[in-house]
Amino acid sequence: MNALTIDVEDYFQVSAFAPHIDRADWPRLPCRVERNVDLILGLLAAHRTHATFFTLGWIAERYPALIRRIVDQGHELASHGYSHLRASDQDRADFSADVISAKAILEDIGGVRVHGYRAPSFSIGAANWWALEALQAAGYRYSSSIYPIRHDHYGMPGAPRFGWRPLGENGLLELPVSTVRLLGRNLPAGGGGYFRLLPYAVSRWALRRINSHDGQAGIFYFHPWELDPGQPVQPGIGVKTRMRHYLNLHRMEARIDRLLGDFHWDRIDRIFLGSA
């Protein structure tokens, strides 16, 4: 059994677009998240599969009916923070206010307890360890915010590849997105842009290796905007950002459908916390 996770944010909220899109303009931009999440809910229902939705408080406030559909269809509601600011770009007070606010909004709208959190752009690491303490103080039971790879924008390659408790045995559980260990390095194996960039067979091989060779559950993630080739194209961005964001969007829906059929999936809380 593997954990399927979705980071619920819209195309204009991705961190790579932050230098190009003013946050003050977010409410005026065409929002496509509801259409995209409903597409994902349909795919999950067709495969009788449940997942964890790491959701922005900003989205929940504007689309409360969408949040209730996620919960009513049996999926786990988790937090992606309120405003999609990287944890590494905030001080402790601002970060605490953000994650407390998001948890309260999601719980109020969804009518369920929110146990999990994922930092935008996996932005928790050795330089801001206090963020884990803030999450625990806010009542979160687990985080999926430390990616044990080397990346130009995030990553902590020396961190454990599988679930661990960075604050001690009584602290919150950190559940990294999946990697494979090859030639002395951790390589990404849990979705995101790599899933769109590389042939599908690479991801299938990596997840099977994690299940069989490591004997562990995989943790896979993607975003609703990745299934939306019709989203507005952002002008003025660099070649690298353009490739990372738009490459193979038209293939993503079919790939997710195939992934759902090739592996067994469930919510994070059921697999790692034993929660219903």
**Residue-wise pLDDT tens digits, 196-230:** 999 999 999 999 999 999 999 999 999 999 999 99
Report the chain's C-alpha Rg in angstroms: 17
pLDDT recorded at residue 154: 66
Q: Which domain holds residue 218?
A: 2-273
**78 strand-pairing partners:** 54
Within 10 Å of residue 72's Cβ, how many Cβ atoms? 12
The number of angstroms, rounded, from the C-alpha of 189 to the middle of its chain's C-alpha atoms is: 14
Q: How many domains does the chain have?
A: 1
Selection from 66, 28, 17 nearest residue 224 by Cα: 66
Separation CA 36–CA 231 (nearest Å): 10
Quote the CA–CA distance of 114 and 103 in Å, as a whole number.
6
- Chain centroid to CA 137: how far? 21
Residue 275 structure tokens = 């929660």
pLDDT of residue 153: 63
Q: Is residue 13 within 8 Å of residue 84, measured between CB atoms?
A: yes
CATH number of residue 250's parent domain: 3.20.20.370
Q: pTM for this structure? A: 0.96
State the DSSP code for 271: I
Q: State what percent of residues in the chain have pLDDT above 70.
A: 97
225-243 pLDDT tens trace: 999 999 999 999 999 999 9
Average pLDDT over residues 146-170: 86
Strand partners, 5: 52, 221
**For 29-41, what is the mean pLDDT?**
98
pLDDT at 155: 64
pLDDT at residue 9 is higher than 80: yes
Q: Is the pLDDT of residue 152 over 80?
A: no
- Tracing tokens 């989205």 back to the chain, one arrives at 59
- CA pair distance 174, 77, nearest whole angstrom: 17
d(CA 257, CA 245): 20
Q: Which helix (H) or strand (E) holds 107?
A: helix 92-110
- State the pLDDT at residue 156: 84
User: Does the structure show a pLDDT above 90 at 66?
Assistant: yes
- Cβ neighbours of 153 (radius 10 Å): 11
- The C-alpha atoms of residue 26 and residue 90 are separated, in whole angstroms, by 20
